[in-house]
Amino acid sequence: MLSKIYLGGASMVALALGCASAQAATPTIVYGGTGTSAAKVYRDVFNCYTALADSIFATTPGNPTTIAYPTTLAPGCTKEGTVAAVIASEPVGAIAINAFTEANPAAFGSPATTNTVAYLDSTFGIASTPYPEIQFAGADVYLTTTQATQAATAAGEPIFQLPAIVEPTTLPVGQVQNVKLTVSDVCSLFSSSTNTSSGKVVFSELVVRSDSAGASYIFADWLAQNCPASLGFNAGNGFPSTLPNWTAVAAANGNHLSIVAVKGAGGIASTVASTPKAIGYVTPDYVYPVVSGSTAYPAYVNGYLPTVTNAKNRLANVTYPKTYNAATIGQQINDQLVAPGGKGYPILGFNFFNVYQCYSATFAGGLIGGPAQGKALLGLLKDFYTNSTSFNAIVNGQGFVGAPSQVTNLLKGAGGPFNATGGVQNAKCPTK
Q: Could you report the per-residue pLDDT of 196-222, keeping only the tens digit for each?
A: 999 889 999 999 999 888 889 999 999
For the chain, percent of residues with pLDDT exceeding 70: 84
DSSP per-residue codes, 79-97: S---SSEEEEEEE--THHH
Query: Which is more confident, 133 or 51?
Result: 133
State yes or no: pLDDT of 345 exceeds 90: yes
State yes or no: pLDDT of 1 exceeds 60: no
Rounded to whole angstroms, the Cα distance separating 14 from 12 reads 7
Query: Which is more confident, 99 or 19?
Result: 99
**How many residues in the chain?**
432
For residue 181, give the CATH number of its domain. 3.40.190.10
Q: Are 47 and 73 in contact (CB under 8 A)?
A: yes
Q: What is the pLDDT of residue 81?
A: 66
Q: What is the dihedral of CA 231, 221, 92, 287, to 10 degrees?
A: 80
Same structural domain, 157 and 183: no
Region 70-99: mean pLDDT is: 79
Same structural domain, 181 and 230: yes
178: left (phi over 0), alpha (psi -120 to 50) or beta: left
Same structural domain, 147 and 224: no
| Residue 358 in domain | yes
Per DSSP (E only), the strands in 98-257 are 136-139, 159-168, 172-174, 180-181, 205-209
Region 256-285: mean pLDDT is: 94
**In this structure, how many other beta carbons lie within 10 angstroms of the beta carbon of residue 427?**
6
| Residue 383 in domain | yes
The segment with the largest mean pLDDT, out of 5-9, 66-70, 223-227, 415-419, is: 223-227
Same structural domain, 242 and 382: no
| Residue 253 in domain | yes
| Residue 242 in domain | yes
- Each residue of 303-329: pLDDT tens digit? 999 999 999 999 988 999 999 999 999
Residue-averaged pLDDT of the chain: 84
Q: What is the dihedral of CA 420, 422, 423, 429, to 10 degrees?
A: 120
Query: Which is more confident, 13 or 229?
Result: 229
Q: What is the pLDDT of residue 427?
A: 53
State yes or no: pLDDT of 278 exceeds 90: yes
H-helix segments, 227-307: 246-252, 264-273
Amino acid (one-letter) located at 406: Q
Q: How far apart are the first and last CA of the chain?
A: 26
Q: What is the pLDDT of residue 25?
A: 52
| Residue 322 in domain | no
Same structural domain, 20 and 152: yes
Amino acid (one-letter) located at 157: E
Rg (alpha carbons) of the chain, rounded to whole number: 21
Same structural domain, 298 and 393: no
Same structural domain, 141 and 95: yes
Q: What is the pLDDT of residue 56?
A: 67
User: The domain containing residue 143 runs over which residues?
Assistant: 5-166+348-412
Same structural domain, 353 and 289: no
Q: What is the pLDDT of residue 298?
A: 98
Rounded to whole angstroms, the Cα distance separating 216 from 185 reads 18
Q: Are 110 and 129 in contact (CB under 8 A)?
A: yes
Same structural domain, 83 and 115: yes
| Residue 423 in domain | no
Confidence of residue 406 (pLDDT cuts 50, 70, 90): very high
| Residue 330 in domain | no
State yes or no: pLDDT of 69 exceeds 60: no
Q: Which of 166-180, 225-239, 360-374 has the lowest mean pLDDT?
A: 360-374
Q: What is the pLDDT of residue 359?
A: 77
State yes or no: pLDDT of 344 exceeds 70: yes
Rounded to whole angstroms, the Cα distance separating 224 from 235 reads 8
Same structural domain, 153 and 181: no
Region 288-310: mean pLDDT is: 96
Task: Indicate the residue among 242, 273, 305 that finishes a domain.
Answer: 305
Rounded to whole angstroms, the Cα distance separating 286 from 83 reads 29
State yes or no: pLDDT of 70 exceeds 90: no
Q: What is the pLDDT of residue 162?
A: 94
| Residue 313 in domain | no
The residues near 288 (Cβ < 8 Å, ≥ 6 apart) are 172, 294, 295, 296, 297, 298
Q: What is the pLDDT of residue 61?
A: 45
Q: What is the pLDDT of residue 79?
A: 65
Number of domains in the chain: 2
Amino acid (one-letter) located at 367: L
Rounded to whole angstroms, the Cα distance separating 291 from 164 reads 22
Same structural domain, 187 and 98: no
Region 387-412: mean pLDDT is: 88
State yes or no: pLDDT of 422 exceeds 80: no
Task: Indicate the residue among 271, 289, 305 that finishes a domain.
Answer: 305
For the chain, percent of residues with pLDDT exceeding 90: 53
Confidence of residue 12 (pLDDT cuts 50, 70, 90): very low
Same structural domain, 33 and 152: yes
Rounded to whole angstroms, the Cα distance separating 404 from 413 reads 15
- Each residue of 14-59: pLDDT tens digit? 222 233 333 345 788 999 999 888 888 898 899 888 887 777 654 4
